[in-house]
Amino acid sequence: MKPPHFWYHEPATLLEKLMALLLQPLGPVFATQVATRIRNAKSAKVDAAVICVGNLTVGGTGKTPVAIALLGALREAGINVQALSRGYGGSVKGPLCVDLGRHTARDVGDEPLLLARAAPVWISRNRRAGAEAAILHQAEVIIMDDGHQNPQLHKDVSILVVDAEAGWGNGRVFPAGPLRENFDDGLARADAIVLMIPAPDYEPDYDRLGLTEVEVPVLKAWLEPDSAPPADTLFAFAGIGRPEKFFNALAKAGARIGGTKAYPDHHEFSRNDLRQLRSLAEAAGAQLMTTEKDLVRIPAPDREGITAWPVRAVFEEPARATALLEQALDAAAARR
């Protein structure tokens, strides 16, 4: 979905003001439903350390790159780590292990295809069943990509990923705003916060984010490209939570931008979309450039002439991220 303008900005039109006013009473209703579901659930403890990488808002914050970074760190340490995802946008209910040679985004969603490049990934609408399947395949640690609001599994460490620029938007709960639940409720269940900043020298406004007096560790991280963008003029397109982040990052890296086009998060690109994009790029004398997450949603035969710009999450203090992983391992060991 494409976030309404008034989630992150003052309503600019009479229609936006009316929508914001009409939706405002629905936020507390949704928040109560989420809180009740979490409070009444019995979270299952499994024979593996469970680390959840989630968020409090609808839309992209950078949690999947953070999850990939943690998967890589654990694998480098010689630990059998596997990922667990609901498979948002896919048709598979699972439990099922993602096969990069067979599955598409229509099967398992886009994010699991990216995670599967780093470690085995299980798709399961029932998170407990997915975790048990991973454990049957010798998983010592399970990284949940998303799921902070899912109470089916006990989390040994729950990490909230926050976009330091966008923050919590207007501070209201969906559909009146971008929050998935009441801010205080979600924060109370977190063991750490990762602030995704646009660049290493960016200083977050902790007061605006409400994080000046939190009792959990707050880590800073950013997305760093694997390489410089091509020297050609680029026509950039993206269907992620905040497409402008991708466009701005390309420009900041020195790319020559001949045009941009934004789509809703998890957008499924049609043949007509691709024809239009190619026409726009040709008119601008540009090469088509998108994100890795968008590229995996485009069928392989239709990717000709489209390039992705890979990025990875980098922690300002890697040792603090490692400490969170050790915390989860210690907690799981204490249960045995």
pLDDT of residue 242: 86
List, for residues 258-275, the tens digit of each pLDDT value.
Answer: 999 999 988 999 999 999
Q: Rounded mean pLDDT of the chain?
A: 94
List, for residues 228-240, the tens digit of each pLDDT value.
Answer: 998 899 999 999 9
Dist CA 174 CA 114 (whole Å): 27
List, for residues 183-238, the tens digit of each pLDDT value.
Answer: 999 999 999 999 999 999 999 999 999 999 899 999 999 999 988 998 899 999 99
Q: Are 331 and 254 in contact (CB under 8 A)?
A: no
Residues 21-41: what's their mean pLDDT?
Answer: 96
pLDDT of residue 37: 96
Dist CA 206 CA 281 (whole Å): 40
pLDDT of residue 59: 79
pLDDT of residue 335: 80
pLDDT of residue 261: 96
pLDDT of residue 169: 93
> What residues contact residue 213 under an 8 Å CB cut-off, 6+ apart?
none
Q: Is the peptide bond before 175 cis (omega within 30 degrees of 0)?
A: yes
Q: What is the pTM of this model?
A: 0.93
> What residues contact residue 223 under an 8 Å CB cut-off, 6+ apart?
62, 65, 196, 249, 311, 312, 313, 314
Dist CA 249 CA 212 (whole Å): 27
- Whether pLDDT at 1 is above 70: no
> What residues contact residue 34 under an 8 Å CB cut-off, 6+ apart?
149, 180, 181, 185
Q: How confident is the model at residue 336 (pLDDT cuts 50, 70, 90)?
A: confident
pLDDT of residue 113: 97
**Phi and psi of 55, rounded to 5°?**
-155, 175
List, for residues 77-123, the tens digit of each pLDDT value.
Answer: 999 999 999 999 899 998 999 999 999 999 999 999 999 999 999 99
